[in-house]
Amino acid sequence: MTLLHWATISPFLLAILIPFLYKYLRSIHTGWFVLILPVVLFIYFINFLPITSNGDVVKEVVPWVPSLGINFTVYVDGLSLLFLLLITGIGALVVLYSIYYLSKKTEKLNNFYVYLLMFMGAMLGVVLSDNLIVLYVFWEVTSLASSLLISYWFHREKSTYGAQKSMLITVMGGLSMLGGFCLVYVMAGTFSIRELIANVDLLTGSTLFIPAMLLILLGAFTKSAQFPFHIWLPDAMEAPTPVSAYLHSATMVKAGIYLVARLTPVFGGVPEWFWILSGFGIITLFWGSLSAVRQKDLKAILAFSTISQLGLIMCLLGLGSASMYFGMGEDYFTLAILAAVFHLINHATFKGSLFMTAGIIDHETGTRDIRRLGGLMTIMPVTFTVSLIGIASMAGLPPFNGFLSKEMFFTGVLRASELSIFSMETWGLLFPILAWIASIFTFVYCMIMFFKTFTGKFQPEKLEVDHVHEAPIGMLISPIVLGSLVVVFGFFPNILAYTLIQPAMAAILPSLLPDGEVFHVDIYHWHGFNAELFMTFGVIIFGTVIYLLMKKWTKLSIYMRERDPLNWFYDNGVSGTISGSQAITRIQMTGLLRDYFAYMTVFIILLCGYTMIKYDAFAIETTNLSGIDPFMWVLTLVFIAATVSIPFIHHRMTIVIVVGVLGFLLALLFVVFRAPDLALTQLLVETVTVVLFMLAFYHLPDLRKEKFTPRFNIVNLLIALGVGGLVTAIAFSSFALGSEANLPTIAEFFIENSKELAGGYNMVNVILVDFRGLDTLLEVLVLGIAALGVIALVKLRMTGREDV
């Protein structure tokens, strides 16, 4: 493998070593060993900046399942490099933060860092994979690792609930996404994203194009918490704050954003892609900001804020995708893509710092409830300063980076509403209206966070600690670094213009760039007195008024309902699924073997019968039948008589004998049909079975002379007749259809190839050992497992105190 491949899987390799480091080096916090990896990876990936800035890419291939078109292909361009730097850079800051946030004395750090490294490696794999199937594998690992991180404090019911919810929703979306990938393969014959982009025409003309797009978007929406799948994100806040700062502000929730951006060259430009992304994005933006105002927990406010901001980015990607179809260039929709990429960076910086400061407040005061906080400005001045910067940027106030991308967002929705495409002349006006209202509520919850936490009266009697003080410097370094980036990117936004933003835009909209040209990126604060600036003034004015009237509207019942009402559908859906499955289980799992056989045989009868009827597969051919010898008639009649007599026998011992006779008669049939090995096996098995039954009944004195009256059961009769009829129909039909089509039989294949391919003359042995070798191997494995189980039971010595 190449160095780039090793970099991708390096977090998984380190995760394997973590338990040993934790066990033998307990005097050192495990995080110090983990911190080295994201720092090294960040430095390594920075070296790709000159390559992607020049429009070049790096591609490395390792074959995996080449016969199915699945290779571990890693691909570095402007878009993937942007995410790589976010994953490793913020990952390093989160690990440093966690060293001081999580105590090595009270926390199981080996579990935490194994899960964190699993997640980091999975995210690297997602953004580097060129193959859709490999991307899906890493995608599902992110869901697994994130649920493990959310349930890190598994003794808390809310943590396990949040982990289960995130797992169910994101994995459901992931499975639908896999279905979309398979449809894409059916259309284009490849899983390579590069090849799909180069052959878009193969997809757009197919009837499977829209279904594939919808399935893939379902996966992206569930991962990036788009309405109505956003409900898992607030409950994921039960995870430790380092997890929230990493997964739910900078990485995991951005995976769906990455997928949409990556596949925009494939699906972008069609009306369905445009409206789904922009429509659901603007609704998510609005709903998230409105819901955040109702929260009383700092992390809950940030959670709904993240939902809102993700909706903003998704909306911008949707609006910008129209340029794929119309080719309008940077004057129109490419500005939306520019805003999406820039806000992606900005959101990672200010939201990461805010999650960390919220964790610091919780760590030092024992609570995140804004009703119990207040007056922390002078007690925690550094935390206050960093929070102020992050909150101001999130609110879209100058001179911070959030103001720049928010103004660009306003420009994008205003210009989009003016265009006569995709029915925007009628519905387009909703975009600036909803964007402006959502921005007002964003400003409101930012004011709530700031004033309720840092101003007002300090209330130590409501806190869970005796002494509140500033966090240690180690815990402050990471949020200070992110807060500093908020300021730097605000004052000097163009330092990112042609290093990160323009290469990422080129990866999202490659068809709009003639060879050798680049998108023009020039970000600055002052654009004159335009509509965007007046919208910002309106946001500040109306947001301030709403906050000042807070005492009135907080009395409304809706304000007291912090929990998202859409959780009702999830909770009832899960409980209904559990109740339904329990009801089915009670019906099906009766504890009786005969019931299980009945269920299986009925299913087989219905499935096979339906298939034969649908495809008109039932046929009888009598012309090529051979003659039947007289002794075969006698043998058959005896076989039938023994079988029919079983239901009328009143003694269990007699039943065992008659069943044994049937087995020996079957062995005789094998001899007649020249299968001596099967006959020998049947004789041995039947002899042992009969002897074991006889011994068992002989040593049960209450049953030796027991008489019983067989009960007639019409259901059992119908099932028996159905199985017999089905087997007979399949036998006749396979013989007849084979004769009619004059197709070679499988027996002819074995006759011709047993010696040549397997080197054996005994066809039965060759079939078992070579042609069915894997099946036989698994059978031997099952027998081996059963043998081990028997040995364990034989050697088990119970003392009687196991349950004490």
Q: At what angle do helices 109-128 and 132-150 cross, to 10 degrees?
A: 160
pLDDT computed for residue 329 by the predictor = 46
Which residues make Cβ contacts (< 8 Å) with residue 494, sequence separation at least 6?
Answer: 521, 522, 523, 524
73 pairs with which residues across the strands?
Answer: 61
SS (H, E, C) 167-206: HHHHHHHHHHHHHHHHHHHHHHCCCEHHHHHHCCHHHHCC
Q: Please report which confidence band the pLDDT of residue 803 belongs to, taking 50, 70 and 90 as the band edges.
A: very low
Residue 408 has pLDDT above 90, yes or no: yes
pLDDT computed for residue 800 by the predictor = 57
Q: Which of 144-153, 190-199, 239-248, 789-798 has the lowest mean pLDDT?
A: 789-798
Of all helices (H) and strands (E), which one includes residue 668? helix 652-672
Contact 537, 352 (CB under 8 A): no
Residue 254 has pLDDT above 70, yes or no: yes
pLDDT computed for residue 464 by the predictor = 79
pLDDT computed for residue 715 by the predictor = 86
pLDDT computed for residue 25 by the predictor = 84
Residue entry with tokens 């059992």: 716
Q: Please report which confidence band the pLDDT of residue 96 belongs to, taking 50, 70 and 90 as the band edges.
A: very high
Residue 659 has pLDDT above 70, yes or no: yes
The mean of the pLDDT values for the chain is: 88
* Secondary-structure breakdown of the chain: helix, strand, coil percentages, each rounded to the nearest 5: 75, 5, 25
Q: What is the dihedral of CA 642, 646, 652, 656, to 10 degrees?
A: 40
Residue 378 has pLDDT above 70, yes or no: yes
Q: Which of 82-86, 261-265, 540-544, 595-599 has the lowest mean pLDDT?
A: 595-599
Residue 741 has pLDDT above 60, yes or no: no
First-to-final CA distance of the chain = 54
Q: How many CB atoms lie within 10 A of CB 632?
A: 12
Q: Please report which confidence band the pLDDT of residue 575 belongs to, taking 50, 70 and 90 as the band edges.
A: very high
> 768: burial class by Cβ within 10 Å (0-12, 13-18, 19+)?
middle
Q: What is the mean pLDDT of residues 625-633?
A: 78
Sign of CA dihedral 713, 714, 715, 720: positive
Q: Please report which confidence band the pLDDT of residue 713 belongs to, taking 50, 70 and 90 as the band edges.
A: confident
pLDDT computed for residue 673 by the predictor = 81
pLDDT computed for residue 699 by the predictor = 72
Contact 451, 388 (CB under 8 A): no
192 pairs with which residues across the strands?
Answer: 131
Q: What is the mean pLDDT of residues 618-625?
A: 75
Q: Please report which confidence band the pLDDT of residue 532 belongs to, taking 50, 70 and 90 as the band edges.
A: very high
pLDDT computed for residue 801 by the predictor = 57
What's the pLDDT tens digit per position in 668-703?
Answer: 888 888 888 788 888 988 898 888 888 887 776 655
pLDDT computed for residue 633 by the predictor = 85
Buried b vs exposed e over 206-228: b needs ≥16 C-beta within 10 Å? beebeebbbbbbbbbbbbbbbbe
Would you mind telling me the total number of residues written for the chain in this entry? Answer: 804
Q: Which whole-number Å values give the CA distances from 33 to 49, 96, 481, 678, in the listed order?
A: 27, 10, 21, 62
Among residues 326, 543, 276, 536, the alpha carbon closest in space to that of 414 is found at 536
* Radius of gyration (C-alpha) of the chain in whole angstroms: 34
Contact 422, 274 (CB under 8 A): yes
Q: Please report which confidence band the pLDDT of residue 326 belongs to, taking 50, 70 and 90 as the band edges.
A: low
Contact 181, 133 (CB under 8 A): yes
Which residues make Cβ contacts (< 8 Å) with residue 502, sequence separation at least 6?
Answer: 53, 78, 518, 519, 521
Rounded Cα gap, residues 3 and 616, in angstroms: 58
Sign of CA dihedral 413, 419, 422, 426: positive
Rounded Cα gap, residues 443 and 429, in angstroms: 22
The pair of three-digit structure tokens given for residue 107, joined into one six-digit string: 């926390």
What's the pLDDT tens digit per position in 100-121?
Answer: 999 888 888 999 999 999 999 9
Sign of CA dihedral 290, 296, 300, 302: positive
Rounded Cα gap, residues 757 and 321, in angstroms: 56
Cis peptide before 228 (omega within 30 of 0): yes
Which residues make Cβ contacts (< 8 Å) with residue 400, sequence separation at least 6?
Answer: 350, 389, 392, 393, 486, 487, 490
Residue 197 has pLDDT above 60, yes or no: yes
Contact 31, 95 (CB under 8 A): yes
Q: At what angle do helices 209-223 and 271-292 cross, to 10 degrees?
A: 20
58 pairs with which residues across the strands?
Answer: 76
Of all helices (H) and strands (E), which one includes residue 70? strand 70-76
Rounded Cα gap, residues 186 and 197, in angstroms: 15
**pLDDT above 70 covers what percent of the chain?**
94
Q: Which whole-number Å values give the CA distances from 97 to 92, 245, 472, 686, 797, in the listed order?
A: 9, 10, 10, 69, 50
Rounded Cα gap, residues 35 and 111, in angstroms: 16
What's the pLDDT tens digit per position in 14-44?
Answer: 999 999 988 888 888 999 999 999 999 999 9
Backbone angles phi, psi at 60, to 5 degrees: -130, 140
Rounded Cα gap, residues 376 and 468, in angstroms: 9
Buried b vs exposed e over 435-465: b needs ≥16 C-beta within 10 Å? bbbbbbbbbbbbbbbbbbbbeeeeeeeebee
Q: Which of 35-44, 399-408, 513-522 has the lowest mean pLDDT?
A: 513-522
Work out the widest C-alpha separation in the chain, in whole angstroms.
Answer: 108
Q: Which is higher by pLDDT, 422 or 39?
A: 39
The pair of three-digit structure tokens given for residue 666, joined into one six-digit string: 């079957």
pLDDT computed for residue 804 by the predictor = 44
pLDDT computed for residue 527 by the predictor = 82
Rounded Cα gap, residues 644 and 661, in angstroms: 13
> What is the 8-class DSSP label of residue 76?
E
pLDDT computed for residue 86 by the predictor = 96
Q: Please report which confidence band the pLDDT of residue 794 belongs to, taking 50, 70 and 90 as the band edges.
A: confident
Q: Which is higher by pLDDT, 513 or 20?
A: 20
297 pairs with which residues across the strands?
Answer: 369
Q: What is the mean pLDDT of residues 583-598?
A: 87
Q: Please report which confidence band the pLDDT of residue 146 belongs to, taking 50, 70 and 90 as the band edges.
A: very high
The pair of three-digit structure tokens given for residue 505, joined into one six-digit string: 């835009």
Rounded Cα gap, residues 633 and 636, in angstroms: 5
Contact 244, 237 (CB under 8 A): yes
Residue 213 has pLDDT above 60, yes or no: yes
Rounded Cα gap, residues 295 and 297, in angstroms: 6
Among residues 81, 59, 190, the alpha carbon closest in space to that of 127 is found at 81
Residue 772 has pLDDT above 50, yes or no: yes
Residue 606 has pLDDT above 90, yes or no: yes
Residue 458 has pLDDT above 50, yes or no: yes
Q: Which amino acid is at 278?
A: S
Q: How many CB atoms lie within 10 A of CB 496?
A: 21
59 pairs with which residues across the strands?
Answer: 75
Among residues 258, 192, 253, the alpha carbon closest in space to that of 223 is found at 253
Q: What is the mean pLDDT of residues 554-564?
A: 77
Q: Which is higher by pLDDT, 77 or 629?
A: 77
Contact 159, 150 (CB under 8 A): yes
Contact 297, 369 (CB under 8 A): yes
pLDDT computed for residue 676 by the predictor = 83
